[in-house]
Structure 1
Amino acid sequence: MSLPPLSLSILGVEPLDEFIKEIADFVHYTIVNRPPDLQGKVEVEAKVGQLVDTSSNRRLELPVLVETIITPQSIPLRFESNMSVEQHKHFNTRLNELQNSSSQPGFPSTPLGYVHLKLVDSFYPSDNSHEKIRVTRDDKTGKVLECMRKIRLGDLNIFSPKRAADWRVSVNLEVPVSHPIGSPTHTRKKDRLSYSHEEFSIDLTQVTASTPNGPSTVMHELEIEISRPTLLLATAAKRGDPNAPELERSAFDELMRAFVNNARILVRNANEGW
């Protein structure tokens, strides 16, 4: 017996995905309510890592079966973005395979771009003790690419009990500043494999952090970021505007849908042994 065609629902439409809407609402609220006196680039990113229960110092455990957004400041936890070398190699292999196959005929999505970057971040004290001034240089030429103060506006943690990794959505404001005077407190050398796809960049990075008098530490990180802050702000401004055409009203939610889907794909492709 075959199944006849079914409607999406009794109303003929698919119910709104509350998970994606919650993340979209969080990002939109944080953007709209950012400090009006600070001018800078809005950054929205999702980092892949693990949520750690600070009381046990082990990965978070919750009585849920599926991916869950955690209410901010509801439980004591921290997010760790560092992954093992083996996990880094695994993602490198998978992303390279995807980048190669995306240029082949019949691939179901648009091709991925790729660039290998080697950067050095130097951090200096700022007037605000909670923030640092970051100077980014090209590791090969020494050319200063960026000098800014990064202000964290908000985070949203997502626990994924069926996966080896969790993820965190962050909204930040990058405020341009003058090059600081003095010596940096610490540096981060970044060997970054950056993949671009439509409105997003996926960065797989080996980070070597060092202080003037301390030993170096090596970390491996994976994140996805919305590439065009101007597009992000433009779509956020039109969200829900009754005077805007439907495509413009819904563009922000469509952008967030693709952003969340890409973050989920990365998390679901993580190996065991984070």
Structure 2
Amino acid sequence: MTSLPPLSLSILGVEPLDEFIKEIADFIHHMIISRPNLPGNVEVEAKIGLLRERGGGGRLECPVLVETILRPEAIDCRFESNMTASQHKHFNTLLNKLKISSSQPGYASSSPLDYHHLYLVDSFYPSESNDRDKIRVTRDEKTGTVIECMRKIRLGDLNVYSPKRCADWRISVNLEVPVKQHPVGSPTHTRRKDRMSYSHEEFNIDLTQVTSSNPTGAPEVFHELEVEIARPELLLSTAAKRGDMDAPENERNAFDELIRAFVNNARILVRNANDSWH
């Protein structure tokens, strides 16, 4: 039997740049450097869900064979982050097993998962500055303590279509601007969040059952899964040094490494989705 000799990465001895990850890194970096000059944290998250046709509501179909980034506004579709209760249970079981195994000796990653079970209530109020923006007040459901009061400004979204998988995903970049004064009046709607939050290195993975209520309709229950970069200050500091030739190599490449790991976590979750999504 002929064995395969060691092979070079390429004729130049290097591995070609991964255009997929670079495109996402470029998008997030552009959203950061072009954001409004307002105080607040930049939130970067990837939601797992389905891309659906705007008209019929069926899952989007594109003439591609593998995972593909869609050019913003090029295809008329909507993203649905809701999953079935069965899918929610599937991910809960998967993440709980991972939490246990990650603390055992010899685990593939040197960093164990941490876990918190949170019960939160979000109340939304109109914003005086923009009709599209809402002021969100988040409280601990058990104590009633206000955790944060802020206005979320959407900076941009990037949809990723995954034809070989049971789910797609969307990257969202937002600016969270703190609001000092609690809004007055009644909220337009509320979201009660029963959240299982898993943290690993620089990322949070949140599996949430959401009960959404408004004054005029019956409550609706949704199930959501998302990956978020945990430290906004790290995100901004690495973005500031991206490509800076005066900075050490590890610092100017840190942003792309952060986004690479972020993308890998989103991909792993998508590839572990089962067929009960629809």
TM-score of the superposed pair, with normalisation by structure 1: 0.99
| 2:35 aligned partner | 34
User: In the TM superposition, what is the alpha-carbon distance from 1:187 to its structure 2 partner?
Assistant: 0.4
Q: How does 1:36-51 map to 2 (within 5 A)?
A: 36=37, 38-51=38-51
2:173 aligned with 1:171, yes or no? Answer: yes
Match of 1:154 among 156, 162, 169: 156
Question: What whole-Å deviation, never above 9, does each CA across 1:146-165 have from its counterpart, x for those lacking one?
Answer: 00000000000000000000
User: In the TM superposition, what is the alpha-carbon distance from 1:258 to its structure 2 partner?
Assistant: 0.2
Secondary structure (helix, strand or coil) at the match of 1:204 reads strand
| 1:69 aligned partner | 69
The list of structure 1 runs, each at least 4 consecutive aligned residues, that deviate by more than 3 angstroms after superposition, is none
2:138 aligned with 1:145, yes or no? Answer: no
What do you get for the CA RMSD once the two structures are aligned?
0.6
Question: What whole-Å deviation, never above 9, does each CA across 1:73-107 have from its counterpart, x for those lacking one?
Answer: 00100000000000000000000000000000000
* CA distance in structure 1 between the partners assigned to 2:275 and 2:32 by the alignment: 35
Match of 2:263 among 260, 264, 267: 260
2:214 aligned with 1:211, yes or no? Answer: yes
Amino acid at match of 1:261: N
Question: What whole-Å deviation, never above 9, does each CA across 1:149-208 have from its counterpart, x for those lacking one?
Answer: 000000000000000000000000000012101111110000000000000000000000
* CA distance in structure 2 between the partners assigned to 1:259 and 1:149 by the alignment: 25
Q: How many residues align structurally?
A: 273
- Unaligned residue ranges in structure 1 (runs of 5+): none
| 1:112 aligned partner | 113
| 1:86 aligned partner | 86
| 1:238 aligned partner | 241
Amino acid at match of 1:3: L
Secondary structure (helix, strand or coil) at the match of 1:59 reads coil
User: In the TM superposition, what is the alpha-carbon distance from 1:243 to its structure 2 partner?
Assistant: 0.3
Amino acid at match of 2:73: Q
User: In the TM superposition, what is the alpha-carbon distance from 1:118 to its structure 2 partner?
Assistant: 0.2
TM-score of the superposed pair, with normalisation by structure 2: 0.97
User: In the TM superposition, what is the alpha-carbon distance from 1:213 to its structure 2 partner?
Assistant: 3.0
User: In the TM superposition, what is the alpha-carbon distance from 1:55 to its structure 2 partner?
Assistant: 2.6
| 1:195 aligned partner | 198
Match of 2:138 among 136, 139, 147: 136
Amino acid at match of 2:10: S
- Unaligned residue ranges in structure 2 (runs of 5+): none
Seq. identity, %: 74
* CA distance in structure 2 between the partners assigned to 1:190 and 1:162 by the alignment: 31
| 1:3 aligned partner | 4
| 1:102 aligned partner | 102
User: In the TM superposition, what is the alpha-carbon distance from 1:56 to its structure 2 partner?
Assistant: 2.2
